[in-house]
């Protein structure tokens, strides 16, 4: 790496090989922040105070009890399918059955944090300068709550981090951004705010918070596999196929916030530390208790513990928590009494029943402060954390850099005129770098984001303003060119009107 030629990118230094990967044959950047080998996007949920709550989707309105998928995001499983009928219900966390991960298998941990989390340390030097995003970085940009981060160390179900991987003498104890809440070339959740990980959001900007994530692992089936229902096993025995989707018992394990009203409608005990299992999340009344709070060594009741992150390893009878056979890894929400003064809401715990749990990962192991909070969990199997992080961490791209020269200037602003399509249009490939929200068009929302990043990168300077005749025509509703309506919105409030005159005059004449 030391011999790699580098080019200057504002305050960043960008490896030449990565620049080449980001430039098309025309020398124009063809994508926003991305990953070389993106991790699969999991199913996810968002919390009650997220601004996307109530947004209509193909699967119904978004609620804090619904399970979502990107792009969209769209409702995949409505809250009612989990027997959650109150708008005040909050799905705290979900898990598929990760029996594909054995006790000795290695993996990196995927996790999210809440809005108050700030991270313990900056991006790791091993990923700089090309991959500069982690919890601390995204928290300083007020974006961390909707993101998914990946540990830079390996773990097993017994804990970690593991030392001595790839000649390392000690674990790194840090993390990298692998799925952004928005605008990362498709490697994102389409949450609010749907912006690049580079952008600094103004204080108080409402943002979505990821509340749960899970994968549905479906490894190859073999005879006697516990995922095969009796009907599917009979089909296999009679040469009727491998079972396929029909024969797999796809179980969803989930927890609810302890304040969710629908806890009273689910099988007892009603608790934020009860783990439920649902054999058919498309319709209600197929929910049962998988593990009680007492089996896990936690406190129940309306003031008891809240399981905030969850990974289930259901190795025995499916949907039945068997002591000494099954295992759950979990985190606890802020205010959970079992945290006491010894544990952190950013610690991870393990229980195999018997009324006991133990801490297997500390907040510091994840690159977090003890005052941070992990609020969703998943894992990604790998035996090489360094390569996985390099491939799957979101790398640095300068949004709006149309000519790919590593700086934002008037030439990049002028490119907007030729790339503008309006809402619902289809942007030319060379204009993808100006499609800030990655929705396929270049419209006024992209201009707004472009302007904010331009000011951020250039110390408050703005894109060259319209000429006076162009600006006046746009204010009067008769723009000389369609993009002028966007470009005349000097205060970035989404409207072109008299409120833009003051900012325009100040820009043209100076303060």
Q: Has residue 29 been placed in a domain?
A: no
CA atoms within 13 A on the CB side of 354: 11
What does the alpha-carbon distance between residue 275 and residue 298 come to, in Å, rounded to a whole number? Answer: 11
Provide mean pLDDT across the span 180-195: 87
Same domain, 385 and 416: no
23 in a domain, yes or no?
no
Domain boundary among 330, 363, 392: 392
Residues 53 and 163 in one domain: yes
Instruction: Based on the fold, state whether residues 187 and 105 are members of the same structural domain.
Output: yes
Say if CB 184 and CB 121 are below 8 A apart: no
DSSP 128-140: TTT----HHHHHH
- pLDDT of residue 13 exceeding 60, the answer is no
**Does the pLDDT at position 165 exceed 80?**
no
Q: Please, what is the average pLDDT of the chain?
A: 86
Q: Do 98 and 148 share a domain, yes or no?
A: yes
Does residue 16 lie within any of the structural domains? no
Q: Say if residue 252 is in the same domain as residue 131.
A: yes
pTM: 0.80
Of 392, 422, 438, the one marking the end of a domain is: 392
Mean pLDDT on 312-325: 95
pLDDT of residue 109: 98
Q: Tell me, yes or no, whether 445 lies in a domain.
A: yes
Considering the domain architecture, whether residues 302 and 440 belong to the same structural domain is answered as no
Do 504 and 388 share a structural domain? no
Q: What number is the average pLDDT over the span 472-495? A: 93
For residue 351, count CB atoms less than 10 angstroms from its CB and return exposed for 0-12, middle for 13-18, buried for 19 or more: buried
| Domain presence at residue 279 | yes
Same domain? For 387 and 413 the reply is: no
> 174 lies in which domain range?
43-193+207-392
pLDDT tens per residue, range 362-376:
999 999 999 999 999
Strands (E), 180-272: 210-214, 252-256
Stretch among 244-253, 271-280, 285-294, 489-498 having the lowest mean pLDDT: 244-253
**Mean pLDDT value across residues 407-429:** 90
What residue has token string 């209600």? 284
Query: 377 and 421 share a domain?
Result: no
Q: Tell me what pLDDT residue 242 has.
A: 29
Whether residue 420 sits in one domain with residue 367: no
Q: In angstroms, how far is the first alpha carbon of the chain from the final one?
A: 46
pLDDT digits (tens, 9 = 90+) for 104-157: 999 999 999 999 999 999 999 889 888 999 999 999 999 999 999 999 999 999
Residues 114, 188: one domain?
yes
Say how many C-beta atoms besides its own lie within 10 A of residue 54's C-beta.
10
* 329, pLDDT greater than 90: yes
Q: Is residue 34 part of a domain?
A: no
Token reading at 80? 């009612």
pLDDT in tens, 454-480: 888 888 888 999 999 999 999 999 999
Q: For the purposes of burial, counting CB atoms within 10 Å of the CB of 74, is it exposed (0-12), middle (13-18) or buried (19 or more)? A: middle
Shared-domain flag, residues 373 and 409 = no
Q: Which of 28-37, 374-383, 499-508 has the lowest mean pLDDT?
A: 28-37
Check if the beta carbon of residue 191 is closer than 8 Å to that of residue 207.
Answer: yes
Residues paired with 226 in a beta bridge? none
* 421 has a pLDDT exceeding 50: yes
Residue that terminates a domain, selected from 392, 420, 452: 392
Residue 401: its pLDDT value, please?
A: 83
Residue 3, domain member (yes or no): no
5 in any annotated domain: no
Torsion angle (degrees, nearest 10) of CA 43, 49, 54, 60: 20
Coil, helix or strand for 508? helix
- What pLDDT is attached to residue 11? 30
Give the number of domains in the chain: 2
Q: Which helix (H) or strand (E) holds 336?
A: none
């Amino acid at each position: 790496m030391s011999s790699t030629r580098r080019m200057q990118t504002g305050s960043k230094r960008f490896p030449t090989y990565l620049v080449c990967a980001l430039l098309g044959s025309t020398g124009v950047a063809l994508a926003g922040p991305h990953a070389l080998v993106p991790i699969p996007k999991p199913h996810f949920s968002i919390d009650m105070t997220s601004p996307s709550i109530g947004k209509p989707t193909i699967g119904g309105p978004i609620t804090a009890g619904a399970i979502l998928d990107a792009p969209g995001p769209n409702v995949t499983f409505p809250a009612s399918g989990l027997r959650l009928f109150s708008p005040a219900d909050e799905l705290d966390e979900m898990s598929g059955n990760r029996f594909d991960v054995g006790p000795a298998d290695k993996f990196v941990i995927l996790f999210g944090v809440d809005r108050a989390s700030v991270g313990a340390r900056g991006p790791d030097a091993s990923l700089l300068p090309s991959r500069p995003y982690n919890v601390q970085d995204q928290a300083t940009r007020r974006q961390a709550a909707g993101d998914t981060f990946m540990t830079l160390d390996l773990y097993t179900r017994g804990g970690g981090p593991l030392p001595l991987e790839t000649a390392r003498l000690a674990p790194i104890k840090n993390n990298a951004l692998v799925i952004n809440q928005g605008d990362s070339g498709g490697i994102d959740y389409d949450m609010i705010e749907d912006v690049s990980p580079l952008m600094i959001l103004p204080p108080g900007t409402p943002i979505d918070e990821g509340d749960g994530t899970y994968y549905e692992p479906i490894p190859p089936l073999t005879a006697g596999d516990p995922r095969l229902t009796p009907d599917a096993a009979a089909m296999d025995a009679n040469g009727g196929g491998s079972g396929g989707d029909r024969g797999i018992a796809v179980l969803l394990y989930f927890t609810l916030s302890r304040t969710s009203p629908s806890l009273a409608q689910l099988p007892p005990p009603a608790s934020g530390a009860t783990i439920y299992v649902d054999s058919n999340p498309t319709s209600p009344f197929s929910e049962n208790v998988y593990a009680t709070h007492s089996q896990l060594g936690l406190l129940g009741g309306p003031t008891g513990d809240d399981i905030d992150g969850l990974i289930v390893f259901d190795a025995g009878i499916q949907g039945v928590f068997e002591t000494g056979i099954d295992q759950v890894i979990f985190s606890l929400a802020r205010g959970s009494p079992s945290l006491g003064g010894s544990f952190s809401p950013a610690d991870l715990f393990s229980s195999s029943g018997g009324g006991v749990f133990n801490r297997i990962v500390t907040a510091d192991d994840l690159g977090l402060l003890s005052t941070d909070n992990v609020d969703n969990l998943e894992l990604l199997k790998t035996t090489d954390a360094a390569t996985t992080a390099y491939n799957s961490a979101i790398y640095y791209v300068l949004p709006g850099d149309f000519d790919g020269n590593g700086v934002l200037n008037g030439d990049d602003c002028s490119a907007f005129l030729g790339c503008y399509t309006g809402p619902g249009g289809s942007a030319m490939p060379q204009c993808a770098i100006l499609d800030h929200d990655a929705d396929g068009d270049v419209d006024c929302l992209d201009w707004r984001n472009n302007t904010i990043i331009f000011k951020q990168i250039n110390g408050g300077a703005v894109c060259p303003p319209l000429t006076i005749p162009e600006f006046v025509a746009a204010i009067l509703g008769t723009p000389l060119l369609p993009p002028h309506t966007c470009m005349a919105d000097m205060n970035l409030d989404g409207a072109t009107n008299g409120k833009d005159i003051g900012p325009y005059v100040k820009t043209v004449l100076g303060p």
